[in-house]
Chain A
Amino acid sequence: MNPSRRSLRLYLSNKAYVVGVPIITLAAMVLVSVLIALVMGIVVGLPLPHDVEEGFRNNVGSLTALPGFLVSMGALVVNRNFSMALAFGSTRRNFWVGTALGFGLTSLVTALAAVVLLALEFLTHGWFVHTHAFDVTAMGNGNYLKTFAMTFMLSALSLFLGALFGTVYRAFGASATTVTAFAMGVVIVGLIAVGVWQRVRVVAFLADWGLWAVVAILAAVVAVVAAASYSANRLATF
């Protein structure tokens, strides 16, 4: 067996955790959206009137529901599975490659789940109450491909970001992890500052490329974070 696949199998040892929980999280987000719609329906009636329904297109639950869990999962995996893989005779490289494949698999399944939920949302006319959880602006307004791409990239970014923190901790200790988090915060604030400064160009860029621009940026960030995680992992110890 390819040595990297051993770590992939280890990653998949608890499928309910690495595949099931992200899907359940997305389903829970739908449930929360429906509950909010029901509460609003007390005032405006059900199904929701068109103007209220349109307001739900700004629902960002699909963006915010996953990262918390996936970042913690990424960090946990590269800490605990790493120690286990080393104990069972794996190299660092094979562990990282196998785990990265696992992250890809989790992201793939999560993105497919988002697409299925989007289809169900269409079929049920907004979960029977005209609410929107996946047919939202942030996911491409009901475009299946954009929903898939956004969910995939968001999941991958969250997992690799968690993995980066986990591997930095393994390689350099707690202080370095804090410094990394601080440096990342500085970079994000800097990027936001540049975006605000160059807002005219940014808006024009987004207008030309739409959500695909965001997907492309996320993909680039995933690549950078994954590369950083790989580098740190080469120096990680038990």
Chain B
Amino acid sequence: MTPTATEASGIRIQQLRKSYGSLEVLSGLDLSLAPGHIYGLVGPNGAGKTTLMSTICNHTFPSGGTILVDGEDPAENARVLERMCFIHEDQPYNDVFSVGSILHVMPTFYPEWDEALARRLVTRFQLPLERRARKLSRGQKSAFAIVISLASRASYTFLDEPYLGLDPTAREIFYEELLTDFGAHPRTIVMSTHLIDEAADLMEQVIVLHEGQIVLQADVDDARSSAYVARGLADDVRAFAQGRDVIAERTLGRILSATIRGQVTAADEHKAIASRISLEPVSLQDLIAALGIHTLTSALTTENR
């Protein structure tokens, strides 16, 4: 079931447009985000993910349409904006500010700032407090953004490709800390990501943005159960797939993996066993890649309506 925002809570966006000169980045976008959930914002490069988050947070101005956060326009609205945190992936920092000096001032911006969490994250990510923020490595900048974003406890937290440059251990720390902290302090988190499968367990909903439009907004579990993969010898899989809606095929030698739309029935399982085919759940990333974004829309949005 897709949660939706109400008049007075959550984020409601209608017909949002944003153009840079002749380049239209967001084109009449509608979106509703209920509060207290983790949303994964995915889409190809240039789809408008960062622009969408920037526009919601008033970092840039919309060319048209309306945005309401908890029923209020966020534009120059201190009451709304002070409950938001959005560290850009390429966030500029003052050249002379150290990591420590920035963290020191954070409680003045966020009354709910969790100093203990910030310190723990700094330690776990091994961030050098004395180093100037602009001198941090790519991974350290991402870690620093995560520290601020999570410790801010902002009601609306936006994470822009938060894992960029993070090694697998650091990514694991991020996922673990995000889930732990979200469990204790639920809030709305919107996270743009390309690592769909890796982040899929964090997301409650996936939002796919393509060419300035939301082409899919669905529960992650619904999306995953909307298709499955049949894997086995090519001839066997083709025989099994006959009459079914195959949306992608991948071969490796004599082995064929077919992504099939629909849900596995008991009869399917019997048939697969008899044909020596394995039926596996499809990963979110494979599903999006397999369907192509436009096809995915029709496959899933109809299911959720």
Contact = CB atoms under 8 A, between A and B. Distances in A.
Contacts of B104: 13
B82 A3 contact: yes
A238 B95 contact: no
Contact of B109 (A90, A92, A235): A90
Interface string A62-91: 000000000000001101110110111111
B75 to A, nearest CB: 9
A10 interface: yes
Contacts of B170: none
B57 A84 contact: no
Interface string B79-113: 00111111110011111111001101110111100
A10 B110 CA distance: 13
A93 B76 contact: yes
A237 interface: yes
B108 A79 contact: no
A146 to B, nearest CB: 32
Contact of A84 (B81, B94, B152): B94
B263 interface: no
Nearest to B104: A13
B106 to A, nearest CB: 7
Nearest to B102: A13
B105 A9 contact: yes
B78 A87 contact: no
A40 B81 CA distance: 60
Given A84-B93, A89-B82, A6 B60 contact: no
A94 B82 CA distance: 11
Contacts of B101: 13-14
B54 to A, nearest CB: 6
B76 A86 contact: no
Interface string B199-221: 00000000000000000000000
Interface string A139-173: 00000000000000000000000000000000000
A9 B61 contact: no
A86 B59 contact: yes
Contacts of A235: 61
B133 to A, nearest CB: 9
B78 A3 contact: yes
Contacts of B85: 87-89
Contacts of B81: 89-91
B275 interface: no
A235 B96 CA distance: 26
Contacts of B78: 3, 90-91, 94
Nearest to A237: B60
A14 to B, nearest CB: 5
Contacts of A79: 92
Nearest to A4: B78
A86 B57 contact: yes
Contact residues on A (Cβ < 8 Å of other chain), bracket: 20 to 34
B76 A77 contact: no
B66 to A, nearest CB: 19
Contacts of B108: 1, 5-6, 9-10
Interface in A1-31: 1, 3, 5-6, 9-10, 13-14, 17
A77 B77 CA distance: 22
Interface string A89-104: 1111110000000000
B77 A88 contact: no
Nearest to A86: B59
B252 to A, nearest CB: 45
B166 interface: no
A13 B105 contact: yes
Interface in A27-50: none
A87 B105 contact: no
B190 to A, nearest CB: 14
Contact of A91 (B76, B91, B111, B148): B76
Interface string B52-68: 00100111110000000
A160 B88 CA distance: 27
A1 B58 CA distance: 21
Contacts of A234: 76
B91 A77 contact: no
Give the top 9 A-B pairs by smallest Cβ distance, nearest first. A238-B59, A80-B94, A88-B109, A237-B60, A13-B101, A83-B92, A89-B82, A17-B96, A89-B81
Given A89-B57, A91-B76, A92-B76, 17 more contacts: A1-B108, A1-B111, A3-B82, A6-B108, A6-B109, A10-B109, A13-B104, A80-B92, A80-B93, A84-B93, A84-B97, A89-B81, A90-B82, A91-B81, A234-B76, A235-B61, A238-B54
14 contacts: A5-B108, A10-B105, A14-B96, A80-B93, A83-B91, A83-B92, A84-B92, A84-B94, A87-B86, A89-B84, A90-B109, A91-B78, A234-B76, A238-B54
